[in-house]
Amino acid sequence: MKARSFALLCGVIVAVFAAASEPTAGQRAPAAKASPNAKTAWVAPRMPWGDPDIAGIFTTDDELGVPFERPEQFAGRELVTDEEFAQRATQLQRQNDADSEEFIVPRAGNGPEGGGGTGPPSHWLERGKPSRRTSVVVDPADGKIPYLNDAARQRSANAVNARTSGRRPFEGPEAMDLYDRCITRGFPHVMFPTIYNNASQVVQVPGYVGIRYEMIHDVRVIPLDGSPHVSPKIRPYFGDSRGHWDGDTLVVDVTNFPLNTVNYRGAGGQLHVTERFRRIDPTTVRYEVTVEDPTTFSRPWTARLSLKTDRRLAQVPEYACHEGNYAMTNILTGARVEERKR
């Protein structure tokens, strides 16, 4: 990249996040005033230059307990029953109680990976609130990812297990995925909640929307100027994003994903993602993502999240993953010790 282009990109990133650090209500264009004697539908606010206001600091913690794909026990239902919701609430309270107890009296090997070396202790985890949803996938109607064939389904399973298993081979740093190496979670992985650090910040300036993610400190800057995607030869970890407004909805088209380094549920370089952001009430931005890859899925499918504001989040906390990434050293050293014992 030429120095001038690089300098321009750096300037855009600085401008987006410096000029739009969590806008206050006074900076936003007020919604239309309603008559005191009339009931009117809620009207989404707008930025001073006229774009819909989707800015804020959000969390997806409340979606943590929602299965990504719909389990068979909930077949044909988008929501759980009152009884099932009560069971979820009880289970969540038990988890919170156990976390509190573990914080006081730590127990070895009680992380989510059984002490595999890459999982935190349970009291580090974020739990959120119980949800009535039966799956994050909302289309197809059965809440299942429509894999093209068994080979595609196995690629997805291999990709997920490579991240979650603590017992895979550890020949060297390159054998670890980009997440373990503190480089990136990849996209759209980064949008979905994981064990902790599920905050994100959306900021807006004329012509751009910026999104900063707490986990692995990833940042996106999305142009809204109608410019075409970059050359297919350029394939960033997060692909190439181009956005536009469709009424009150921000629509983002994402292409140019890496060919070999980032695998999203079995999809590869032909992955095509369409995002939709829409503020639906003062504290919630609804997020939908439609995923396509004809080599992996038999049809496009869509997942949905609620990005919720949280008054406890005054800023996105620092995520200093790579400053002294001792986990890499310790995992690889431990693997060598195990090899010598065989």
Task: Give the pLDDT confidence of 161-212 residue by residue, as tens digits.
Answer: 555 545 566 788 877 778 878 888 888 989 999 888 889 999 999 999 999 9
Q: Residue 15 contacts by C-beta under 8 Å, 6 or more apart in sequence?
A: 205, 208
- Alpha-helical (H) ranges within 73-170 are 82-104, 150-164
Query: What percent of the chain shows pLDDT beyond 70?
Result: 76
* Residue at token pair 């759209």: 188
pLDDT value of residue 156: 85
Direct distance between the N- and C-terminal alpha carbons of the chain, in angstroms, rounded to an integer: 49
Q: Distance (Å, rounded) from C-alpha 108 to C-alpha 112?
A: 12
pLDDT value of residue 39: 63
pLDDT value of residue 262: 63
Q: How many residues does the chain have?
A: 342
* pLDDT bucket at 8, cuts 50 / 70 / 90: very low
Residues 219-272 have pLDDT tens digits of 999 999 999 999 999 999 999 999 999 999 999 999 999 887 667 888 888 999
pLDDT value of residue 130: 84
Residues 18-73 have pLDDT tens digits of 555 544 433 455 544 544 555 678 888 999 999 999 999 999 988 988 999 999 99
Q: Which of 249, 185, 192, 219 is nearest to 60 (CA)?
A: 192
pTM greater than 0.85: no
CA distances from 108 to 63, 103, 325 (A): 28, 12, 21
